Structure 1
Amino acid sequence: MNSALKLPVSEFIDSASYVVNEPLLASDEPGFWSEDTDVLVVGLGAAGASAALEACAQGKRVTVLERFDGGGATALSGGIYYGGATEHLQAAGFNDTPEQMYTYLHKEISGAVSDATLHDFCARSAENLRWLESHGVEFGSRVDTSKRSYPRAGYDLYYSGNERAKSNAAASTPAPRGHRVSGKGFTGSVLAEKLIKSATERGVAIRRQVRVARLIVDTSGAVVGVEALLIPAGSKAARSHQKLIAKINRYQRFIPALAFGTLRRIAELEASEGVVCRISAQCGVILATGSFAFNRAMVNQYAANYIDAIPIGTVGCDGSGIRLGQSVGGIVSHMDKVSAWRSLSPPLSFVSGIVVNKAGKRFVAEDVYLGHLGRLLVEQENDCAWLIVDKSAIKNAYREAMPKLNDNWLSFGAPLLLNLLVNLKKSATLSGLAQKCDIDEVGLGNTVATYNEIVTNGVDPFEKSSAYLQKLGAGPYYALSLSTKNKLFPCPSIPMGGLKVDEQSGGVLQNGGEPIAGLYAVGRCAVGIPAGFYISGTSIADCIYSGRRAAKHACGG
């Protein structure tokens, strides 16, 4: 350890709590390196843990550096793995195949990766799920067939994308490929805990409260290690650091302004109390630090349309891995691709309403996958869209919103009740509602009339399912703002772009298309399967896929 080396606070702090320093040239001087490993993984979410486990299985010494507690965005997620042709689907009566999965995903998310890589992802899907099970992660086969953004308590499988839309169903047999990790409530934490526990039992060296400040390169430009700031274990600084992390995880991550203030204090603590150490990696460095959701400067730079959406993930999703890759010449791609989830259900009665823009016109099928709705929403004028429903829909919504003793009420019922109580506009007439919402009166009136005719005919040009086609009856009418600017109805979002990687190895690419020797990127700090378009469960599935791929290549496999 080089305790005399300190880095100034100013080099750490931006909107993400710090900036990445320029790479350091490795030296042969005695004492330059603090320690040595074979594979060095930066970040301990699903992607980092998968990379560490795979490298360990290849017989390598593995060290993981984690700035916070570990688990990453995975631990805060719903724990959904998007998998095709699995034993659980077969047990539920679905004769799914990798080709059916590929056909659907190719239609929805093509463009981010090559067809060959998407084929490979689908072909390895069931095997990667079995691999998770080998590390203690459990799944089941009870299917929730209802229209949900997350399966109800007691269910294991659901249609996590837009598989049942008419055009998709015509091309590929729908299957509920969203596999929920078994457990109570949102089960991403269960998945993360199982993987971390397995890594620990297999001898992976996990170092927490360590912030990677920069990469270390040799004279050829190959990445050979990292320089990091380590908070000494058991120290007063470590206890303070842990308290600040806990404060963010408990509640501040839902209030970005508070979270950023605490992050600044964390950065100051790391800068003043952290001990600089340099770790060499004989086989490679694997970046697994998550997205840049909490780096609002990067969001504003690359995806300004989503700046008002609420970042989802941990405060460690700050773009640090992307910046580390860029510091040695790595290139980025799909940085403007953001998954913004705007869900209408629950309650199901809201799906029977209509979504209109400022002109009063429909622009989407209301039962569309929530990611599609979010993407189309931000494309509307002034990010302005409203859900319009009648009194019968509101009555049914109140029934669904009433407190219930189950795992899902706090996550879904409580926000719905809040919307019903404080977030709706109401008017006896459509004209009056349009005036209150600054929607074109004529446009809204014509749209409702046309929609009621569509319900009569039973065929919607936007392909809304007939199960949700219901006329808007007599007033009063209600409107719910779907804008990402609506702070009473937050729109969660995760950026999906990142470092461009070689799709055979996961190696970070530089200008000219050649990989940077010794450097890999996985999960959401890299361009992967969900970068074209996110479907629930594809991020975790891609974390497993990309983490294992990079580790195998780094180990010479």
Structure 2
Amino acid sequence: MEDNIEIPQIISPEDVTSWEKEVDVIVAGQGIAGTCAALEAHKAGAEVLIVERASGGGGASAMSSGIFYLGGGTEVQKVAGYEDTAEEMAAFMMSCCDPLDSNAALAFCRDSKDHFDWLEDQGVPFERTYHGEKAVWLADTTCLMWTGNEKAWPFREAAKPAPRGHKVAGMGENAGAEGMKPLLARCIEQDIPAIYDSAVVGLVQDSDKRVVGIKVKQPGKTFFVKARRGVIIACGSHNMSQPLIKKYLPLLGETSEPLGIPSNDGMGVRLGISAGANPVNMDGVIPTASIYPPGKLIKGIVVNANGERFVAEDVYHGRLANFIMEQPGQKAYLIVDEEIFAYPEITHARHTLIDGFETVDAMEAALELPQGSLVRTLNEYNEGAEKGEDKRFHKHVDWLKPLGNGSWAAFDISFNKSTYVFITLGGIRADERGRALDLYSQPIPGLYVVGASAAHIPKSGKAYGSGMSLGPGSYFGRRAGRDAAGVAWEEQKA
């Protein structure tokens, strides 16, 4: 145990008195990444066993909003009139996400359209519909939406903007369940065995550092399962692990709330560490407490405790939140005039209206900002907005307007006052094949880590876009399943 982070003990094969079962590939976890891994490993001819900690499959993926970040010219994009390409998608992701593994990010972009087709072939439902307004999630079954920083500066200059959020045809905040249902059903149809209420609590690793099996704990029983070809860890995130959060994400305070399920306790990361795999980007997090909808609030400005703007307000809500988290005292205020005044519609964010003000000086004093700071900031902003420009942060002209219409109002959107929900982005470093890597980027033989147990493509919420968990998670899950089964990705595609 280190820093109160409990790392499972590695078991030597010599210490295993008997194996309950022996298969080619073990998949630990049946969320989106694990399910896709199991399907591909089975298709490649491997004998597969799914080991799931909960009483059924789905994981946090089934509780998500069901958005897959995909592009490169999907059928949905074409119907909506967007001619996206893999090259444009890659240019955006390389610019915005600054991925740790460029090859993995480029592979995801290159295969994104084909991956969308594969998901549909499995029965995952996507409508040929488009929502063009700013939204965090959709209450209806509409599919295509803008879910990242594609239109924000400087990324809109790096690549031609295109919407890439593909939401499954489910309703409400937990539409992800409609994406998981057909994938879980496909596992049953193909007779892929799964055991539930079964926690993987340790890895069996031989003297050559090859992972050859797992230790499983069930109510009243503990046993071992041998893996002839590989173990795929797809156990989810570490959102619920207080020791990991405390160590790596100290800026998350008492008002922050994790988005996840009870089993998101970091076991995937801890299992990987036990076998010598390298945890990376553990300080990466995507917090959110969006100021939109309504979209007109984006035409306001957001200032910190110094009375200064610090980011363009039209960015993805997670990018804005990540910047707010890092401001002095974690304080931030949304300033609007009477023309665009409205209450933020995401009520669980608990953004608070401070008051209305007849003068900017009075608002500045009430917010206890440095004298003259807010007056100066608003004057500079309004002067540019009159000309249709934002020289400081280049907010898109669609969201620019002078804030001088009548009285003003201020909302407290501070990180330590409002409720910011979050998901973690760090995890075990893995390559494009899903192989777990050690400190020197060498693969741990027989070990794969995918989904939220692995480090995401974007390093922080500033680089994230909704769907960058389900999209890459399902894709790299497939690749890991195929690789563990001993079939090359290009060979199987052909």
**TM > 0.5 fold call:** yes
Deviates further, 514-523 or 384-393: 384-393
* Equivalent in the alignment of 1:345: 292
8 Å Cα contact 1:51/1:548 also seen in 2? yes
Alpha-carbon distance in structure 2 between the residues aligned to 1:151 and 1:460 = 30
Answering whether residue 124 of structure 2 is matched by residue 137 of structure 1, we say yes
Answering whether residue 44 of structure 2 is matched by residue 58 of structure 1, we say yes
Deviation at 1:514, TM superposition (A): 2.0
* Equivalent in the alignment of 1:80: 67
* Equivalent in the alignment of 2:11: 24
* Residue number among 126, 142, 146 corresponding to 1:155 in the alignment: 142
8 Å Cα contact 2:138/2:171 also seen in 1? no
Question: Cα gap change, 1:72/1:425 in structure 2, threshold over 3 Å: closer, same or farther?
Answer: farther
Q: Which runs of 5+ in 1 are unaligned?
A: 1-10, 232-273, 402-411
Q: What letter is aligned with 2:152? A: A
* Equivalent in the alignment of 1:434: 364
* Residue number among 382, 392, 400 corresponding to 1:469 in the alignment: 400
Q: What letter is aligned with 1:126? A: K
**What are the Cα deviations for residues 140-179 of structure 1, in whole angstroms up to 9, with x where unaligned?**
2222111222346352111111212354333322211111
8 Å Cα contact 2:129/2:144 also seen in 1? yes
Deviation at 1:474, TM superposition (A): 5.5
Deviation at 1:449, TM superposition (A): 1.9
Question: Cα gap change, 1:430/1:312 in structure 2, threshold over 3 Å: closer, same or farther?
Answer: same
More helix by share: 1
* Equivalent in the alignment of 1:260: none
Question: Cα gap change, 1:168/1:328 in structure 2, threshold over 3 Å: closer, same or farther?
Answer: closer
8 Å Cα contact 1:530/1:542 also seen in 2? no
Deviation at 1:20, TM superposition (A): 4.1
Answering whether residue 447 of structure 2 is matched by residue 500 of structure 1, we say no
Q: What letter is aligned with 1:119? A: L
Deviation at 1:305, TM superposition (A): 2.0
* Equivalent in the alignment of 1:330: 277
Deviation at 1:181, TM superposition (A): 0.5
* Residue number among 90, 99, 107 corresponding to 1:111 in the alignment: 99
Deviation at 1:106, TM superposition (A): 1.1
Answering whether residue 74 of structure 2 is matched by residue 146 of structure 1, we say no
**What are the Cα deviations for residues 201-252 of structure 1, in whole angstroms up to 9, with x where unaligned?**
2112122211111111223221111112113xxxxxxxxxxxxxxxxxxxxx
Question: Cα gap change, 1:290/1:423 in structure 2, threshold over 3 Å: closer, same or farther?
Answer: farther
**What are the Cα deviations for residues 313-358 of structure 1, in whole angstroms up to 9, with x where unaligned?**
2222211110011112111111111112242211122111110000
Q: What letter is aligned with 2:412? A: S
Answering whether residue 419 of structure 2 is matched by residue 490 of structure 1, we say yes
**What are the Cα deviations for residues 363-415 of structure 1, in whole angstroms up to 9, with x where unaligned?**
11111111221221122111111111223333xx25x85xxxxxxxxxx4x54
Answering whether residue 454 of structure 2 is matched by residue 526 of structure 1, we say yes
* Equivalent in the alignment of 1:296: 242
Deviation at 1:122, TM superposition (A): 0.9
**What are the Cα deviations for residues 5-45 of structure 1, in whole angstroms up to 9, with x where unaligned?**
xxxxxx9xx99xx944311111387x521222221111111
Alpha-carbon distance in structure 1 between the residues aligned to 2:360 and 2:304 = 14
CA RMSD after TM alignment? 2.3
Deviates further, 531-540 or 173-182: 531-540
* Equivalent in the alignment of 1:42: 28
* Equivalent in the alignment of 1:213: 201
Q: What letter is aligned with 2:363? A: L
8 Å Cα contact 2:139/2:172 also seen in 1? no
* Residue number among 432, 436, 449 corresponding to 2:379 in the alignment: 449
* Equivalent in the alignment of 1:239: none
Question: Cα gap change, 1:355/1:328 in structure 2, threshold over 3 Å: closer, same or farther?
Answer: same
Note the 1:82-481 alignment, pairs <5 A.
Answer: 82-84=69-71, 85-114=73-102, 116-151=103-138, 153-186=140-173, 187-231=175-219, 274-308=220-254, 309-394=256-341, 397=342, 412=346, 414-415=347-348, 419=351, 423-461=353-391, 462-473=393-404, 476-481=407-412
Alpha-carbon distance in structure 2 between the residues aligned to 1:73 and 1:291 = 9
Question: Cα gap change, 1:36/1:307 in structure 2, threshold over 3 Å: closer, same or farther?
Answer: farther
* Equivalent in the alignment of 1:510: 438
**What are the Cα deviations for residues 124-155 of structure 1, in whole angstroms up to 9, with x where unaligned?**
10111111111110112222111222346352
8 Å Cα contact 2:99/2:458 also seen in 1? no
Alpha-carbon distance in structure 1 between the residues aligned to 2:412 and 2:123 = 43
Deviation at 1:433, TM superposition (A): 3.1
Alpha-carbon distance in structure 1 between the residues aligned to 2:24 and 2:260 = 29
Alpha-carbon distance in structure 2 between the residues aligned to 1:28 and 1:149 = 50
Question: Cα gap change, 1:436/1:70 in structure 2, threshold over 3 Å: closer, same or farther?
Answer: farther
Alpha-carbon distance in structure 1 between the residues aligned to 2:59 and 2:466 = 17
Paired residues in the alignment total 480
Alpha-carbon distance in structure 2 between the residues aligned to 1:474 and 1:313 = 42
Alpha-carbon distance in structure 1 between the residues aligned to 2:377 and 2:282 = 35
* Equivalent in the alignment of 1:540: 470
8 Å Cα contact 2:388/2:400 also seen in 1? yes
Alpha-carbon distance in structure 2 between the residues aligned to 1:300 and 1:337 = 13
**What are the Cα deviations for residues 263-300 of structure 1, in whole angstroms up to 9, with x where unaligned?**
xxxxxxxxxxx311211111111111112111122122
Instruction: State the percentage of identical aligned residues.
Output: 35
Deviation at 1:431, TM superposition (A): 3.5
Q: What letter is aligned with 1:278? A: F
Q: Residue 93 of structure 2 aligns to a residue in which SS?
A: helix
* Equivalent in the alignment of 1:406: none
Deviation at 1:423, TM superposition (A): 4.8
